[in-house]
Amino acid sequence: MANEYYEFFCPVKMVAGFKALEHIPFELSSHDASRPLIITDRGVRGVGLVDIVTKALEAADMQAIDIFDDVPPDSSMITVATIAALYREKECDSILAIGGGSVIDTAKGVNILVSEGGDDLRAYSGTGVVKSPLNPFFVIPTTAGTGSETTNVSVIKDDKTGAKVPFVSPFLLPDAAILDPRMTLSLPPKITAATGMDALTHAVESFTGLAKNPISDAYATAAMKKIVTHLPEVLKNPSDAAGRLQLAEASTMAGIAFSNSMVGMVHSLGHSVGAKCHVPHGLCMSILMPHVLEFNLSVSSENIGELLLHVAGSDVYASTPVAERPAKAIATIIALKEEMYALCELPRKLSETGSVKETDLEDIARMALDDGSMLLNPIDATFEQALSVLKKAF
Amino acid sequence: MIPIKKGFEADIDYNYQRMYVSGMMQLISHMLKAGSQVDDVIKTEVAEMPDGFVFRMNVMPGELSLTMQKQQGALVNLTNYTDKPDLTMSFKHVTFAFLVFSFQEHTAQAYANERLIIDGDVPTSMKVVRCLNRLQTVILPKVVAKKAVKTYPDLEFIQKIQMTTKTYSQFLVNLVKER
């Protein structure tokens, strides 16, 4: 027996499906909460998504005590402290986060301060510093990609130093994630495609990384199947609410998978491309994923071969010889990328983003080696190898 | 003679594991100091760490630990450091440290298997992990080093012998100086 061991943890209640938002008043009252503060951003509020939630609350004689809608694209400690002061001033007792990754990370930070006390979030930075349950906290994702509603991490920028500070604790997880198709219906096609590919990358890297385990595999593979089935359909018919819900569920399932198994080199490179050239995260994932899988083939061919069953289906899997499955799995993902390009012109190469120059690649490769995701990639890449992958993706 | 427990899998008594881990931590801290003085790969990694950077590897609750600091471009051992280090790598139990220090499991796998908690600046922690990997590649026989690191690098035999000799020599020089 090898030294195999794993841990799996996800206490987040899933409230998912038709009219899921109307369950929020009950969820609040079951946590003895009645004075929620809504945290969101201007884009989300501007397209009317917050109104759907507030109307659902009002119909149950409950109302949001206040709405903070100025969360920036990068969560910041000043924003967290500002929102915490608002929460205390208005005597709120719970948080509803409506948005994507930045809003959710910001809300996690706010919940630390309003539950633990103090105004300086830095005091709680690091792993396991928060050691007790926080105030009632509910997340309503408006993108289907980040999976932040199921992660125990929040990364928030220190405005003084510019450093991105991690906060890690199981108590950061929300009490419930509310997945309602109305929240993602208005997502533009390109963002739908990019966030869907982000979720697919979470599932693929969770399934092929060093920390994979049987339970996260189950979530990852189910998520892959949902994404490859429904992402093209939703792009062809953006008002397909059932398909949107499938993608939201897939994103959350991929989030559960990677929050337990972590991610690998696609994320190391992608974080660095994003930091250097400001390319959206999901787009980086989509572009880089097949190239990193090819790089990892020498040690992960079995796991990559097994991907074929989940991204191409049982007929293709059964009719493909074992030795050809890894290459066919990668080819299937490349074909999906081509389909995304045909449907919404989602860039297929770094050069097509218009934001990355070939001269940036060396810096990106260097930064990627210091990214924590590299630790759980099946192979430790050297600078030259990381650069070679980036050049292929360019 | 080391007593072996009988059970689901043969195992070495915890007291002997603790003694072994303690000895290996001493050895690794001294070898890492030597490596940071003579090995170009480790020197490059250390050069990119902030001056005064302190990292600690310990076994919970903390009785076994090694603490090192970057001073004047190289790593030195700290024996009585009481502040919070910039980076802490904590094994949850002595037996998990034993798995790593007896080369049954590499550091990344220990982290993947939730046996090791890394707390601190992530980019610098990656540099520390690369230093440890390089050290093990240099000072251990290839057959052992391949188990001790996730990816054994392209390192020609002659190069390896040269680096091994330089590192062990510096280790001995440091021992004499410290006496």
Indicate whether B168 pLDDT > 50.
Answer: yes
Give CA–CA dist B66/B63, Å, rounded: 10
- CB distance A353 to A286 below 8 Å: no
Residue range A65-81, pLDDT digits in tens? 999 999 998 889 999 99
Indicate whether A247 pLDDT > 60.
Answer: yes
Residues of chain A contacting B150 with CB distance shorter than 8 Å? 210, 378-380
**Is B119–A375 a contact, with Cβ atoms under 8 angstroms apart?**
no
Which of B113, B117, B150 lies closest to A127 in CB terms?
A: B117
State what percent of residues in chain A have pLDDT above 70.
Answer: 99
Check residue B170 and give its pLDDT: 96
DSSP state of A95: E
Report the topology of domain B4-171: Nonspecific Lipid-transfer Protein; Chain A (3.30.1050)
Check residue B3 and give its pLDDT: 52
ipTM for the assembly: 0.89
Flag whether residue A5 sits within 8 Å of chain B, measured between CB atoms.
yes
Residue range A282-312, pLDDT digits in tens? 999 999 999 999 999 999 999 999 999 999 9
Give CA–CA dist B110/B112, Å, rounded: 5
Give CA–CA dist A90/A43, Å, rounded: 24
Residue range A181-203, pLDDT digits in tens? 999 999 999 999 999 999 999 99
Residue range B105-116, pLDDT digits in tens? 999 999 999 999
The CA distance from A210 to the nearest CA of chain B, in Å, is 6
DSSP state of A115: H
**Is B126–A371 a contact, with Cβ atoms under 8 angstroms apart?**
yes
Residues of chain A contacting B108 with CB distance shorter than 8 Å? 210, 375-376, 380
**pLDDT grade for B100, boundaries at 50, 70 and 90:** very high
Query: Which residue, chain included where needed, has tokens 């004499």?
Result: B176
CA proximity to A150, closest of A177, A179, A110, A111: A177
Chain B: residue whose CA lies nearest to A262: B112
The CA distance from A196 to the nearest CA of chain B, in Å, is 26
Flag whether residue A371 sits within 8 Å of chain B, measured between CB atoms.
yes
Residues of chain B contacting A382 with CB distance shorter than 8 Å? 153
**Structural domains for chain A:** 13-183 (3.40.50.1970), 189-393 (1.20.1090.10)
Residue range A132-185, pLDDT digits in tens? 999 999 999 999 889 999 999 998 988 888 778 889 999 999 999 999 999 999
Chain A: residue whose CA lies nearest to B84: A126
Query: Which residue, chain included where needed, has tokens 């770094």?
Result: A350
Give CA–CA dist A292/A269, Å, rounded: 9
**pLDDT grade for B5, boundaries at 50, 70 and 90:** low
The CA distance from B24 to the nearest CA of chain A, in Å, is 21
Indicate whether B4 pLDDT > 70.
Answer: no
CA proximity to A198, closest of A268, A287, A309: A287
What is the number of other CB atoms lying within 10 angstroms of the CB of residue A241?
16
**Is A5–B113 a contact, with Cβ atoms under 8 angstroms apart?**
yes
The CA distance from A40 to the nearest CA of chain B, in Å, is 28
DSSP state of A122: G
The CA distance from B172 to the nearest CA of chain A, in Å, is 31
- Mutate one of B136, B150, B152, B155 to test the A interface: name it (highest A CB count within 10 A): B150
Which of B9, B108, B130 lies closest to A376 in CB terms?
A: B108
Residue range A360-381, pLDDT digits in tens? 999 999 999 999 899 999 999 9
Flag whether residue A170 sits within 8 Å of chain B, measured between CB atoms.
no
Average pLDDT over residues A108-119: 96
* Lookup: tokens for A294: 């090819």
**Is A376–B111 a contact, with Cβ atoms under 8 angstroms apart?**
yes
The CA distance from B173 to the nearest CA of chain A, in Å, is 31
Indicate whether B9 pLDDT > 60.
Answer: no
- CB distance A276 to A268 below 8 Å: no
